[in-house]
């Protein structure tokens, strides 16, 4: 009785590892952040207009910073989405996607801060 020969190991293990870092997954997350930006802007407008109509007639003190954060979020997303894989490392792309989502969340959160 002969034993079967072991299967040869693949040359590139990252091509077969489902847990390997994937640039394609980061591209998907960067692309999904762009439609979420519309939701964040609607939430931002609801918060700012709600603060303006209730209370002293002015929005919170950080409304300008919130608008800037929401304006910079698509810039980070487009950088992560459009820069070719050869020109940007995986860790830099991952950091850029994290920055995109951080700015996306920071916009409505900063708009909701009202010290009055």
Over residues 66-96, the pLDDT tens digits come to: 999 999 999 999 999 999 988 999 999 999 9
Give per-residue pLDDT as tens, 25-48: 899 999 999 999 999 999 999 999
Computed over every residue of the chain, the mean pLDDT equals 86
Number of Cβ within a 10 Å radius of residue 109: 15
Cα 7 to Cα 98: distance, rounded to the nearest angstrom: 39
Output the pLDDT for position 51: 85
60 and 111 Cβ atoms separated by less than 8 Å: yes
Is the distance from CB of 48 to CB of 102 less than 8 angstroms? no
CA distance 72 to 65: 11
Both tokens of residue 20?
């390997």
Q: In angstroms, rounded to a whole number, what is the distance separating the alpha carbons of residues 28 and 38?
A: 17
């Amino acid at each position: 009785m002969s034993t079967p020969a072991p299967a040869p190991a693949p040359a590139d293990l990252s091509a077969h590892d489902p847990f390997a870092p994937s640039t394609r997954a980061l591209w998907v997350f960067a692309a999904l952040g762009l439609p979420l930006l519309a939701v964040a802007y609607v939430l931002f407008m609801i918060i700012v207009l709600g603060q303006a109509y209730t209370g002293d007639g002015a929005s919170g003190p950080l409304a300008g910073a919130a608008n800037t954060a929401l304006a910079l979020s698509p810039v980070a997303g487009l950088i992560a989405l459009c820069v070719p894989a050869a020109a940007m490392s995986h860790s830099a792309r991952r950091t850029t996607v994290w920055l995109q989502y951080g700015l996306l969340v920071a916009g409505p959160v900063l708009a909701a801060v009202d010290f009055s």
